[in-house]
């Protein structure tokens, strides 16, 4: 994705454009690596809790962290009635797990345990960092492509290669699409991996399948509009967006039915 970013930069401004695009990639990646957890927790007004304020949630996370052999992450509650959860942080030593009030109300103890095991699997695999960087680079490519389209309209750009203005316009259109496909592939693969990690940590794959089914049924009747932000959709255990076939094709998450099928297969094994 960084290469794709630099290709568009080259078409817009030649060698200078490559250097500028590389600089953008470095700055955005560092920002994503260091500040993404603070940004997303602030965005959703998450409140940190401890064993005295949320004993059940805190103890589940603590026990699962010990089982996963990772440091105890900070625990947060998001004041939302929509059932969902996410993990964030640049590495296992600086991780945070957040659950909405809605998911705490909706799920049983074992289902909640399986969901939180999924999030801790993300922490253990450093998925939050990978997916945040991918989302940031995709956004940067989209931004640069937007400038490239205007450059093509006004006949500005590197004319030494890439088909001149026409090539610039073509790349400005297809580059964001390629970036989105890469981002979706990364996100979906990581979700399957975290589902598998949840089954290994909690040893209850059917409980995660049950939780996903409940969350999906809830979202069908009451869309999670308060959580539906394209910049953070990849972080939640279930996509906060709802819709038909077109929405599912461009979702950051695999189909819930396929995730449930795989979890049931794990249980059978």
DSSP 76: E
Burial of residue 231, with CB atoms counted within 10 A of its CB: 0-12 exposed, 13-18 middle, 19 or more buried: middle
Catalytic site residue from 51, 69, 111, 119: 119
Cβ–Cβ under 8 Å, residues 193 and 121:
yes
CB 59, CB 47: distance < 8 Å? no
Phi and psi at residue 84, to the nearest 5°: -165, 170
- Annotation says 119 is catalytic: yes
Q: Are 114 and 204 in contact (CB under 8 A)?
A: yes
Closest CA to 68 of 128, 112, 113: 113
Give residue 237's Cα distance to chain centre: 9
Over its C-alpha atoms, the chain yields an Rg (Å, rounded) of 20
Buried/exposed code over 112-138 (b: 16+ C-beta within 10 A; e: otherwise): bbbbbbbbbbbbbeebbbbbbbbbbbb
Residues noted as catalytic:
119
């Amino acid at each position: 994705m960084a290469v794709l970013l630099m290709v568009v930069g080259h078409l817009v401004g030649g060698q200078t454009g490559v250097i500028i695009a590389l600089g953008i990639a470095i700055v955005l990646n560092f920002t994503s690596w260091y500040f993404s957890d603070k940004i997303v927790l602030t965005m959703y007004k998450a409140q940190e809790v401890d064993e005295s304020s949320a004993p059940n949630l805190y103890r589940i996370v603590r026990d699962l962290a010990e089982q996963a052999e990772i440091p105890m992450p900070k625990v947060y509650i998001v004041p939302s009635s929509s059932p969902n959860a996410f993990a964030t942080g640049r590495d296992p030593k600086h991780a945070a797990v957040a659950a909405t009030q809605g998911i705490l109300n909706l799920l049983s103890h074992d289902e909640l345990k399986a969901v939180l095991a999924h999030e801790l699997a993300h922490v253990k695999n450093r998925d939050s960092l990978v997916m945040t960087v991918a989302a940031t680079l995709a956004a940067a490519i989209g931004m640069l492509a937007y400038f490239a389209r205007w450059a093509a309209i006004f006949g500005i750009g590197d004319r030494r290669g890439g088909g001149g203005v026409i090539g610039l316009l073509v790349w400005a259109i297809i580059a964001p699409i390629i970036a989105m496909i890469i981002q979706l592939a990364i996100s979906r693969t990581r979700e399957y991996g975290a589902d598998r990690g949840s089954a290994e940590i909690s040893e209850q794959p059917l409980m995660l399948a049950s939780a996903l089914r409940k969350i999906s049924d809830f979202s069908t009747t009451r869309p999670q509009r308060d959580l539906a932000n394209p910049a953070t959709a990849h972080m939640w255990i279930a996509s906060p967006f709802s819709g038909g076939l077109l929405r599912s094709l461009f979702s950051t998450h695999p189909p819930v039915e396929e995730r449930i099928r795989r979890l049931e297969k794990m249980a059978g094994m």
